[in-house]
Structure 1
């Protein structure tokens, strides 16, 4: 009697925080944060919803993991270039590219009241660049915050475009202005404007 061929069972990928965050990132990027739920995430992963809670405490922790996963794709040029402006320009352009890659993620990340470890690393990198620029120590934290806020605004525009809004009355017709601010040329202009301001402030301090 001929032996029946045995069916090869496909090995199931174990559940992990990294796998959970990646799948959640895919879902959020497709349909937005509001549509994300543990139940829908479990279906996409092919697991029971309760099993996710063994790795992620709640939806807020899930979103923080997603934001961390996204920001880990932002390169921090190391070793830092000798020219501080080159370092910050590369960082700014990297932020722009990331926002264009994940337009569904950035609005929620910007609105979140909670930071991530990667954001702390970005802050530290900016302060090191400002030190290299010769900015006074007492001015670095405030300048870092201003730079990061400026970068977040640039990222929001890169992800969603910039549309002019009327003061009152009917919305203005769409004339293509929504695309303004989304190109690499627009990002480079904004970054250079920001760097010129830092350089001017540093030079004024030396007078």
Structure 2
């Protein structure tokens, strides 16, 4: 039975429940009505948190999925579009430890965290092909990657090119793994991670030699 008491309903709870539905039914199976039923609230209660409807919810899901927190200073409730920030509760690396690592290890820490989130919410990957919400988390990630690439010796337009290469590699690698999941010849997680890190190291060597 749907409750009209919306106390305790939050953006995080809505996003997480939406991801559960996507995991079980696919992106096409997500509707505001079904989401309201799962949360035991009227569908209109969701619009209180996402007044622009499903498109705004999709942007928030994309931001949540792609946020890999390995840099310090991220504060909830801040950013160019507060409503599109990912929800709280994401495990974060020790910022002092990460910031003191060499440039290639900082990027590796980010890439592994990013890969983990993409795999955890692989059902939403199709959203990421069409959406890149501007958030404070994304800006901090860009700043971290750019600083690391500059430390590696890149400058000018090559910094942005290097960053795009890293983002493209992570998305493409995870997409490739998800595409072949379930096949008899698909690698297990240990081997899949080894292959991801092998390609990442090759990419980082190339960037460091640029």
CA distance in 2, matches of 1:177, 1:108: 27
CA RMSD after TM alignment = 2.5
Partner of 2:62: 67
Among 185, 190, 195, the residue aligned to 1:186: 195
1:20 aligns with 2:20: no
Partner of 1:168: none
CA distance in 2, matches of 1:72, 1:199: 25
1:98 aligns with 2:117: yes
CA distance in 1, matches of 2:111, 2:33: 36
Unaligned 5+ runs, structure 2: 72-92
Over alpha carbons, which structure has the higher Rg?
A: 1
CA distance in 1, matches of 2:180, 2:124: 14
TM-score of the superposed pair, with normalisation by structure 2: 0.74
TM alignment of 1:113-192, pairs within 5 A: 113-117=131-135, 118-161=137-180, 176-179=184-187, 183-192=192-201
Unaligned 5+ runs, structure 1: 1-10, 164-173, 202-207
How many pairs align? 179
Shift in Å, 1:140? 0.7
Shift in Å, 1:13? 4.2
- Cα distance change, pair 134–82 in 1 and its aligned pair in 2 (3 A): farther
SS in 1 for 2:48: coil
**Contact 2:59–2:131 (CA<8 Å) still a contact in 1?**
no
